[in-house]
Structure 1
């Protein structure tokens, strides 16, 4: 968290957790992930959740594949899809402490009330217009921008694979990258995290991780500073990349 400046109260957010829309295809696993997030909040972790587009976004992409949408339509529809996924995740069918928030002030209040804010990003995106109207920008990049905006130092991309893999070989555990500098991750292009998000992390000096939401304990381990199965994205790294058999702390030592 950045140093406090008089007259500018902090949002008190330690990490932004982007919940990939793909996880909504397995509702029970999604509920288990949210339960773990709520436990982490009880431990004192101050988290802001940013939803992916999920099922509504899939419908938009399906239409676009046959009848290409204008950038204006695609951008605005996908932002609203994130809102819809956020509302569903905050519903009592999935959670007990998540609170949907459409402003950052509401997020700050939710944390003060011991709730877990899940951001409905469309209105902020529409009013501030911070990202390109392009399919290159996904909810990963949106989450990275919000992490920077609220002063969080870490971004966690929770998706349906175990991290970032060399050559996209997600079925080969030996190809998982244990950790990588954000700038080098951006040079890999679109992987388990979009290239714009990785480039933004590098440009703003943010770190983070990409991990599998089907194993909620991995999110908990990462936030607690424990080794786990993930790809850690480092703002500064002693070397640019390490295989799955190593951990940043081991190299740093």
Structure 2
């Protein structure tokens, strides 16, 4: 990433972390993931969380399947669903050091205070209108956009599977892709990360990883350059760096 210019101080974010809505299907797993994020923060990593739509988003999808919604309605409702997930995961019932915020200025202050900001994206999305009103755009794309907007070098997509699988075969461990260039990932279409996010990462030169949030130690290991089970998404200009998968990895 380019260094901050004079008069434009950096946000000081080590990594943008997309908290997948699928991680809320089991609330105990959700609590484990959030405790893991707090541990990562205590180790010195300054993370910004972008929540997925989670449970509220599933209701919107069900309504749309039965009675197709206008693009305006679906887009705005889904953005607000991300906000609702953000409010829930920052509640004391689930976490003690995560805090909801609606602006990047608030994120900056919370990071300085040693907290984990959880960005409620609707306010920024409605004000800037940066993405298409389409079901093809998910919270993965929003997280990638936030990483680019804040000049953050690392993007982690936390979901309920170990990474990106060839042909979507999540039931076959051997199909797990340990590493893929963002442009190649974009050509695969929608996987465990949405295709628009992959395209955006390729166009903006972003790199990152898709990790299973149920094993929160993997995020810390990845941030510290250790080998983990997961899928490393690299900028096509980067030299390949093997990532260990299977036995022996966390």
Is the counterpart of residue 56 in structure 1 residue 68 in structure 2?
A: no
Structure 1 residues 1-253: aligned runs within 5 Å: 2-236=2-236
Of 209-218 and 79-88, more deviation after overlay is shown by 209-218
**Does the Cα contact within 8 Å between 1:180 and 1:237 map onto a contact in 2?**
no
Distance in 1, matches of 2:245 and 2:87, equals 39
Number of aligned residues: 246
Distance in 1, matches of 2:49 and 2:155, equals 10
Q: Please report how far the alpha carbon of residue 203 of structure 1 lies from its aligned counterpart in structure 2 after TM superposition.
A: 0.7
Distance in 2, matches of 1:124 and 1:40, equals 26
Structure 1 residues 131, 19: CA separation in 2 closer, same or farther (over 3 Å shift)?
same
**Does the Cα contact within 8 Å between 2:144 and 2:201 map onto a contact in 1?**
yes
Q: Please report how far the alpha carbon of residue 245 of structure 1 lies from its aligned counterpart in structure 2 after TM superposition.
A: 5.5
Post-superposition CA distance 1:15-64 (Å, at most 9, x none): 10000001111111111111111111111101000000000000000000
SS in 1 for 2:219: helix
Structure 1 residues 242, 227: CA separation in 2 closer, same or farther (over 3 Å shift)?
closer
Distance in 1, matches of 2:126 and 2:92, equals 28
Distance in 1, matches of 2:53 and 2:90, equals 14
Q: Please report how far the alpha carbon of residue 4 of structure 1 lies from its aligned counterpart in structure 2 after TM superposition.
A: 2.3
Q: Which runs of 5+ in 2 are unaligned?
A: none
SS in 1 for 2:145: helix
Distance in 2, matches of 1:9 and 1:60, equals 38
**Does the Cα contact within 8 Å between 1:176 and 1:244 map onto a contact in 2?**
no
TM-score under structure 2 normalisation?
0.95
**Does the Cα contact within 8 Å between 1:173 and 1:244 map onto a contact in 2?**
no
Distance in 1, matches of 2:189 and 2:72, equals 24
Post-superposition CA distance 1:123-163 (Å, at most 9, x none): 10000000000000000000000000011011100000010
Of 230-239 and 149-158, more deviation after overlay is shown by 230-239
TM-score under structure 1 normalisation?
0.93
**Does the Cα contact within 8 Å between 1:49 and 1:118 map onto a contact in 2?**
yes
SS in 2 for 1:177: coil
Moved over 2 A (4+): 236-246
Q: Which runs of 5+ in 1 are unaligned?
A: 247-253
